[in-house]
Amino acid sequence: MATLIKGGTVVSSTGADPADVLIDGEHIAAVLRPGSHIAAAAEQGAEVIDASGRLVVPGGVDVHTHMELPFGGTFASDTFETGTRAAAWGGTTTIVDFAVQKTGENVRECLDAWMAKAEGNCAVDYGFHMVIGGVDNDSLKEMDLLVNEGITSFKLFMAYPGVFLADDGQILRAMQQAAGNGGLIMMHAENGLAIDVLAEQAFERGETSPVTHGYVRRKELESEATHRAIQLAKVGAAPLYIVHLSASEALEQVAMARDDGMNVFAETCPQYLHFSLEEHLGRPGFEGAAYVCSTPLRSRAEGHQDDLWRGLRTNDLAVVSTDHCPFCMKEQKELGLNDFRAIPNGIGGVEHRMDMIYQGVVTGEIGLARWVELCATTPARMMGLYPRKGIIAAGSDADVVIYDPDHRWTISVDNHHMNMDHSAYEGTQVTGHVDTVFSRGRKIIDNGQYLGRAGDGQYLPRGLSQYLQ
């Protein structure tokens, strides 16, 4: 049976208009002018959902998640099943996760292992980027094959020496390869060698608490790496996408490159917009461990959060993703009780991105259309998923969220759906609520209930980034 979502305000990246949305099977059949003869005819034989007073937005596209990521002697606590279900609760209907290859490992075998983790388990559609942790002749050749198979973006690390770090020569070679095959290089831009020196020195001085993680991962070392990555991209003639940008100084580097006309893009994440080093990472005792992530949270006194909101308005920041990488406090974050260096890096937030960025609409930082653009349309275009994803338009997948813009509620570990024993957002009051979610035409969230099943989500081979074509 078809579904007609009637009476709502449909939001796209270009504006918000009253419209009715007709879903037929897995696709959007039509976006109709309310009151038109066609809209009236569409009601016949359809399930009609009254969306009056509510927003109708494309399902969110989160292009940076880490389900089951092995990190620091443990694994991110969300499986593809629990993490994608939580994503659905939060109005995200597509994720792009990172398959991981480390030095000495075979790229293809690693990708197969990640595919196996996800297959048959996801609540929403999913794709993969490939982490190239060991750049060598084999992995470079494999990049060409992967691009043709729908893995069109590759993450490199300038941080985590001995685990993921690629040196400048390796980075340049990977960029040259991407320049040749049309892929997009995604960069974790922090100077990991310098950070490790500062971290060891701090530890030897007896500074062991979580906040030290933020002090040693200095903003200069994010901006230096961002600058270096941009220069290498220029030499390699490759496009570049900076992940999880948190420092104003790194944003300045991106803005300068973009002003120069380079294909340099960047994302930030809700935690960098809403949290700070002082108020969150710097919490007493071991509480700050919940906020250990890399790049780190930045000082509010220095104004990074305001600069990031500005970057979202100017498009120097084009995407908001979550970098969802959850760890429980018990037995996971606690690995670093006596040494901040051993705290697994990551914050869980896949469920809260749409709501937390909507708070920017509530406070006037961004408009409704920009909210949708940052959380759905641009990520879909950036990662070769548009117009299948990221827009409500005839022919697109029927990934649709009915959003109540006035509903006020409080985030808590008691009402979230991520597999975590705490919430980094505990006690946060938000305005705006995901009421109903359709994933490829199937109603998977409604009336406070999850109606989907593990395995509903399909694998998405991706095209090239639209921003490079």
- Contact partners, residue 226, CB within 8 Å, separation at least 6: 187, 189, 242, 245, 250, 253, 254
> According to the binding rule CB under 5 A, does residue 417 interact with Zn ion?
no
The SS3 assignment for 353 reads helix
Whole-number minimum distance, CB 64 to ligand URP, in Å? Answer: 7
The SS3 assignment for 141 reads helix
- The first and second tokens of residue 396, run together, are 């697109």
Tell me whether residue 293 or residue 392 sits nearer to ligand URP (CB atom): 293
Among 62, 267, 307, 323, binds Zn ion (CB under 5 A): 323
Going by C-alpha positions, the residue among 235, 254, 220 that lies closest to residue 169 is: 235
Whole-number minimum distance, CB 318 to ligand URP, in Å? Answer: 18
Whole-number minimum distance, CB 346 to ligand URP, in Å? Answer: 4
> According to the binding rule CB under 6 A, does residue 323 interact with ligand URP?
yes
Q: Which residues pair with 98 in a beta bridge?
A: 129
Tell me whether residue 188 or residue 416 sits nearer to Zn ion (CB atom): 188
Asked whether the beta carbons of 238 and 211 are under 8 A apart, the reply is no
Among 6, 85, 129, 188, binds Zn ion (CB under 5 A): 188
Residue type, 363: T
Q: Are strands 184-188 and 240-242 parallel, antiparallel or unpaired?
A: parallel
Tell me whether residue 62 or residue 323 sits nearer to Zn ion (CB atom): 323
Whole-number minimum distance, CB 271 to Zn ion, in Å? Answer: 12
> According to the binding rule CB under 6 A, does residue 156 interact with ligand URP?
no
Tell me whether residue 216 or residue 437 sits nearer to ligand URP (CB atom): 216
Partner from Zn ion, ligand URP, none contacting 293, C-beta within 5 to 8 A by type: ligand URP
Partner from ligand URP, Zn ion, none contacting 345, C-beta within 5 to 8 A by type: ligand URP
**Helices (H), ranges, 240-367:** 248-259, 270-274, 304-314, 353-362
Looking at residues 18 to 77 of the shown chain, list those that interact with ligand URP (rule: CB under 6 A): 66
Whose tokens are 């009421």? That residue is 435
Going by C-alpha positions, the residue among 62, 61, 63, 59 that lies closest to residue 11 is: 59
Q: Are strands 400-410 and 319-320 parallel, antiparallel or unpaired?
A: unpaired
Binding track over 412-441 against ligand URP, x by CB under 6 A: ------------------------------
The SS3 assignment for 64 reads strand
Chain residues binding ligand URP by CB under 6 A are 66, 188, 244, 293-294, 323, 325, 345-346
Chain residues binding Zn ion by CB under 5 A are 188, 323
